């Protein structure tokens, strides 16, 4: 018998070269040409319920702030004062006193919408300062079903258009009714693309995820790429006696939504540099009452264990991509079709990548 599975009717295709997973100059291109142009998961609506509430973080290297407006909408702003570039806040969340954003350096104040309100010591002399020209730099911020997203680029498709088919496919999953239970953040030496590729094949599942294989019928696990939407639709039917079935989405570049009737596991990667990410996972459940705490924790740990298995394996992959021994591998057209689609998305977003 051949060592090659003859069911593969298409020829195997080469992977991306190892160099694209470790190159700081390429990471700079990714920041601007991929991450800044896509919607990025930023927070949850319940973290900023009232006008003046804000969330702030540095995301893909940009310090940004999202502020709840008096009309209930969100406004996204760079956390950069227009005077001499101070951070407007060092806090990661809070409420803005007096409905103003006040720079702690020289007290320029801005409205919640980012318009300059007052610049002490300026303004009397004609032409000294025109307030309309000194608003905070905007970013895009929108919400979908209790999740807050930002986009550094101010122009582009709406969040709902970007989510595309996720919106109707997830319509029956009760996301709004689910409450935040716990988060797990892990900083790891893995390139965001290595982790994305791992998520997008279940070729490794029988070897690596005994817990997952106990719950899901892995032989019927499907991953359907929808390149026109930057989307992957994953489905794992429940085994008899298994804990759950799952509806999973991966939206390029790195949003992972794992939806269940009783809860959700929502994950994202925050790229920190070439070959470095923070893996952020939130666990939400329909019922977070104390009597459900142990069961919820067990569900979250079950899911986190699968991520741990993936992180440990892909950290080794990353180390080997950095050694210079391995240059390129090949992908199975049957088992790794979605990895190929993911790599094609990377190629499309970064013209000239392999030239």
Listed in sequence order, the residues at least 6 apart from 274 whose beta carbon sits closer than 8 Å to its beta carbon are 21, 22, 23, 24, 26, 27, 191
CB 150 within 8 A of CB 140: yes
Residue selected from 12, 13, 26, 86 as contacting ligand FES according to rule CB under 6 A: 86
Is residue 77 a contact point for ligand FES (CB under 6 A)?
no
Q: How far apart are CA 166 and CA 60, in angstroms?
A: 24
Is residue 105 a contact point for ligand FES (CB under 6 A)?
yes
Is residue 272 a contact point for ligand FES (CB under 6 A)?
no
Residue number of the CB closest to Fe ion reads 310
Residue selected from 8, 91, 106, 183 as contacting ligand FES according to rule CB under 6 A: 106
* Residue 25 Cβ vs Fe ion, minimum distance, rounded to whole Å: 30
The three-state secondary structure class of 230 is coil
Pick between residue 81 and residue 339 the one whose CB is nearest to ligand FES: 81
Pick one of ligand FES, Fe ion, none as the site partner of residue 310 (Cβ within 5 to 8 A by kind): Fe ion
* Residue 241 Cβ vs Fe ion, minimum distance, rounded to whole Å: 22
* Residue 80 Cβ vs ligand FES, minimum distance, rounded to whole Å: 9
Pick one of Fe ion, ligand FES, none as the site partner of residue 84 (Cβ within 5 to 8 A by kind): ligand FES
Pick one of Fe ion, ligand FES, none as the site partner of residue 81 (Cβ within 5 to 8 A by kind): ligand FES
The conformation of residue 238, written as its DSSP 8-state character, comes to B
Listed in sequence order, the residues at least 6 apart from 311 whose beta carbon sits closer than 8 Å to its beta carbon are 186, 188, 190, 195, 279
Is residue 298 a contact point for ligand FES (CB under 6 A)?
no
Instruction: Spell 279-316 as b/e; 16+ CB within 10 A means b.
Output: bbbbbbbbebeeeeeeebeebbebbbebbebbbeebee
The tokens for 141 are: 């911020």
**Positions in the binding site for ligand FES (CB under 6 A):** 81, 83-84, 86, 103, 105-108
């Amino acid at each position: 018998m051949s060592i090659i599975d003859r069911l593969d009717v298409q020829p195997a295709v080469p992977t991306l070269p190892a160099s694209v997973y470790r190159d700081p100059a390429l990471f700079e291109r990714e920041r601007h040409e991929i991450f800044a142009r896509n919607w990025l998961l930023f927070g949850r609506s319940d973290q900023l319920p009232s006008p003046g509430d804000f969330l702030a973080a540095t995301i893909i290297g940009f310090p940004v702030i999202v502020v709840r407006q008096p009309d209930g909408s969100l406004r996204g702003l760079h956390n950069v004062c227009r005077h001499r570039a101070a951070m407007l806040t060092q806090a990661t969340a809070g409420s803005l006193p007096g409905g103003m954003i006040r720079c702690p350096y020289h007290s320029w104040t801005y409205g919640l919408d980012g318009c300059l309100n007052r610049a002490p010591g300026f303004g009397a002399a004609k032409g000294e300062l025109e307030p309309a020209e000194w608003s905070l730099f905007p970013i895009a911020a929108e919400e979908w079903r209790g999740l807050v997203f930002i986009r550094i680029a101010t122009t582009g498709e709406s969040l709902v258009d970007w989510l595309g088919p996720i919106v109707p496919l997830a319509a029956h999953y009760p996301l709004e009714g689910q409450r935040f239970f716990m988060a797990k953040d892990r900083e790891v030496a893995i390139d965001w693309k290595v982790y994305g590729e791992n998520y997008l094949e279940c070729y490794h599942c029988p070897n690596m995820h005994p817990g997952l294989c106990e719950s899901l019928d892995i032989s019927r696990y499907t991953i359907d790429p929808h390149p026109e939407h930057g989307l992957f639709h994953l489905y794992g039917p429940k085994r008899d006696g298994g804990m759950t079935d799952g509806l999973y989405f991966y939206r390029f570049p790195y949003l992972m939504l794992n939806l269940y009737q009783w809860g959700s596991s929502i994950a994202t990667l925050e790229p920190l540099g070439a070959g470095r990410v923070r893996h952020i996972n939130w666990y939400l459940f329909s019922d977070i009452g104390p009597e459900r705490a142990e069961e919820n924790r067990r569900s979250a740990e079950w899911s986190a264990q699968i991520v741990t298995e993936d992180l440990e394996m892909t950290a080794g992959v990353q180390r080997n991509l950095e050694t210079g021994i391995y240059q390129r591998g090949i992908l199975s057209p049957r088992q790794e079709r979605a990895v190929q689609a993911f790599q094609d998305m990377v190629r499309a977003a970064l013209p000239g990548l392999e030239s």
